Amino acid sequence: MIKRKGFALALVLGLLLVALGVVLLIERVWDIPILSAWWPLVVVVFGAAFFVSLLAGPKGLAFLAVPGSVLLMLGLILFYQSWFNLWSTWTYVWTLLIFALGIGFWIFNIQMKQRWIRILAGILIGIGLLKFLALGFIFEKLIHISNSTLPATLVYVVVVILTGIWVILIPYFFGCCRKETPKIEPGA
């Protein structure tokens, strides 16, 4: 079991390093600016690598969903901010990392099936989304930190929609409102 865990992690990490090396070689030899324009995708790829290891490895690697989701979200945030030059949105967009942490724990709990992890995931997702909404409203709608550009407004609107979906799905995914089924002891 430990050998399989190590193999999955080594395979993914090795493939990532080979891919990064090929990209750097292409940049140097043919002078094609790949990483200078697309550098946040390196963080996305490393986040995705955790999920590839999670899927390729044994069940004991479910914990990789937690750092994988945070790295994936960080890479997507950096890519979005880099692409639209919205670095000022860091004043509130960091709260999405709390949301990603909750998503990671929720994915981790798919295997672990522990009530406290499910509750923790729900709390982190809720805190991340609600902080994003509150701080986003303050910095975008009241202070106009990014001058209300279309990309900043679109992300804010998407998160409002996601928060509504989260509120609807709380009872289903996080079990705060459902009854726990009693365990029946054999022979009882």
Any idea where the domains of the chain sit in the sequence?
1-65, 86-176
Q: How far apart are CA 31 and CA 38, in angstroms?
A: 15
pLDDT band at 76 (very low <50, low <70, confident <90, very high): very high
Burial class (CB in 10 A: 0-12, 13-18, 19+), 82: middle
pLDDT band at 26 (very low <50, low <70, confident <90, very high): confident
pTM, to two decimals? 0.73
DSSP 8-state symbol, 177: S
DSSP 8-state symbol, 186: T
Q: How far apart are CA 38 and CA 17, in angstroms?
A: 17
